[in-house]
Structure 1
Amino acid sequence: MVARTAREILRWLEGLYLTYPVVMPKWDLSNGYAYAEILHAYFPKEINMFAFVNGRSLNARLLNWTLVKQFIAKRNLAISMDFIDATLHGKDGGAEGLLEQTYQLLTNKVPFTDPVYERDNVFSDHPYQQNLSYYEQAHASKSIKNNLKVSELLTDPSYAYQSKRCRAILDQARTDRQAIRASNPGRFRVKPTLAERCLREPLQSDSNPQDWFMKSFDSRSRSVTSITNKSNSIKHQSRNGSGVLLKKNSLSLARLDKEHIEANEDNVLYKEIILRQHAVPLGDLLQTTES
């Protein structure tokens, strides 16, 4: 949900008799003039309102917030600079968090905040977008416009910063789009991939890897033999290849009864494991089972 201001904070602001009422903190506090009036109500001798400019330009905002930061540093007030920067650039949740922190500092009261209205640490609109339907959420370019303000680009014209912020926004948008497609496969006509359709059951924890491979090897040997005999009967080919294959299989099975599987390229059984690429990890097959 979108961030909102507590009712007791709004009543507190009305009691200060500001020149311009704070209706939408995200926009009304962005230039720093209204926030300077809040501090002037508690520190009238230290805040000179004639030094502030009531304008919407970037230079006016930077001037006002620079004076506010100097006063906060001078008085050593416990106000986060991250909230100030987020309010300056008009980011979601910045002005609301700044008002809550200022209210708690000046009145020594803790405002009530609704836990449903979430805020993230980077002051993005991602919590708000997650509460919308998937067809109402912003696309990638709109997300960049909402979360990367023009004033940020002007105050910090670093291409590395811009590319980093854009990459983070696009990665988040891609992750959200993949989650939407996974939760609504029928609408987006998502088809399972070949790997998803060929998944095999994992090896049971109480079974022996070598016994499991022996059973699968026997079934594969029988299937290979039947297919070879059928193709030879149809095409009238010689059965030398199948005979050699059965001979190699019998030798490998006899070797398996006597010793464990070794990672040797001359071992026929080891080649069979590599070629078939079973779901069981090769390390589990090569490990010595503990009795």
Structure 2
Amino acid sequence: MAYAQTPKKTGLPREVLEWLQSLDLSFSPKNVRRDLSNGYLVAEIFSWYYPEDFTMHSYDNGTSLAAKLSNWAQIERFFTRQQILLPKEVIDGTIHCKPGAAELLVQEVYCILTNRRLKTWLGGDVDFSDRGYQEQLPMVARSTASKAIKNNLRQSEMVAEPNISTIQGKIQAIVQRHLEDRRLERLQDPKRFGVKPTLGERAARLSSSSSRSMQGPDCPVVPQPDSPGKSRTSVHFKEMNNHQSPKLAA
């Protein structure tokens, strides 16, 4: 999902910011990615609409991974009871401070709790990576494969995910995306990468009229297939004598 530019540093639509301010929260989110990652502020937002389901003393406003996972486990159990659908990848992206995840989550929460639609939806295709930032950089300043892994795979993800195969799959996806981006860069600027044109690309191309003019009088003319509206040209074949030679007959 491609995010629209807004004058606010939070990257949120104005109506969402005004809604958050109207809730009289314990603190106003200045850095949405950081302030929403532990789930405490999300629980406080829901407590205004579901006070019986959220007792804030059971939530920890700490920054440790254990506090984040504990808070979000309680919130997700509430989502299951109330049949509130928030994509798991958006929640995980918010926990691990992935680019665009917290911004998308708070917009989804706004629409769920207010039953309103945003006038300016900052949605689109989001992979919660730094691809958008990398595309703004000149090609020489973009990340290598190892740097792309470091930028897009948080340490907290590796700690929170005990399954090594899952982590390996994430690394493979990051590398595959990096290689695809490099392939597109080579197409855009082949000289920078020293890509030489192939023999077919270097060969001169001649138009059909030019190729016909180069044919000499001795060049055979290949008969073309019949087309509607044109008279057929009769082709005469010389008859061959099929009688065997006396020598062969002997």
Asked if these proteins are the same fold (TM beyond 0.5), I'd say: yes
Which of 17, 25, 32 is equivalent to 1:18? 25
Paired letter, 2:115: N
Structure 1 residue ranges without an equivalent (≥5): 204-213, 216-256, 258-291
The alpha carbon displacement at 1:112 in A equals 3.1
* Structure 1 residues 133 and 178: CA distance shift in structure 2, 3 A: same
Q: Is the 8 A contact 1:36 1:49 kept in 2?
A: yes
TM-score normalised by the chain length of structure 2: 0.72
Q: Is the 8 A contact 1:86 1:123 kept in 2?
A: yes
The alpha carbon displacement at 1:139 in A equals 2.4
* C-alpha RMSD over aligned residues: 3.2
Counterpart Cα distance in 2 of 1:144 and 1:25: 23
The alpha carbon displacement at 1:200 in A equals 8.3
The match for 1:34 is 41
The match for 2:81 is 74
Which of 150, 153, 177 is equivalent to 2:155? 150
Q: Residues 15-53 of structure 1, C-alpha deviation per residue, up to 9 Å, x if partnerless?
A: 111112111211110001111110111112220000001
The match for 1:244 is none
Matched, 1:161 2:162: no
* Structure 1 residues 81 and 176: CA distance shift in structure 2, 3 A: closer
The alpha carbon displacement at 1:140 in A equals 1.7
Q: Is the 8 A contact 1:32 1:64 kept in 2?
A: yes
- The SS at the match of 1:167 is helix
Structure 2 residue ranges without an equivalent (≥5): 5-10, 209-218, 221-236, 238-250
Matched, 1:110 2:126: no
The match for 2:90 is 83
Q: Greater CA deviation, 140-149 or 186-195?
A: 186-195
- The SS at the match of 1:170 is helix
Counterpart Cα distance in 2 of 1:13 and 1:87: 17
The alpha carbon displacement at 1:81 in A equals 2.8
Counterpart Cα distance in 1 of 2:103 and 2:88: 14
Higher share of residues assigned helix:
1
Q: Is the 8 A contact 1:93 1:119 kept in 2?
A: no
Paired letter, 1:58: L
| Count of aligned positions | 209
Percent of residue pairs bearing the same amino acid type = 37
TM-score normalised by the chain length of structure 1: 0.63
Paired letter, 1:189: G
The match for 1:127 is 132
The match for 2:232 is none
Q: Residues 56-111 of structure 1, C-alpha deviation per residue, up to 9 Å, x if partnerless?
A: 11100000001101111122223333321211111122111111111011111112
Bigger relative contact order, structure 1 or 2 (CA pairs below 8 A, ≥6 apart)? 2
The match for 1:57 is 64
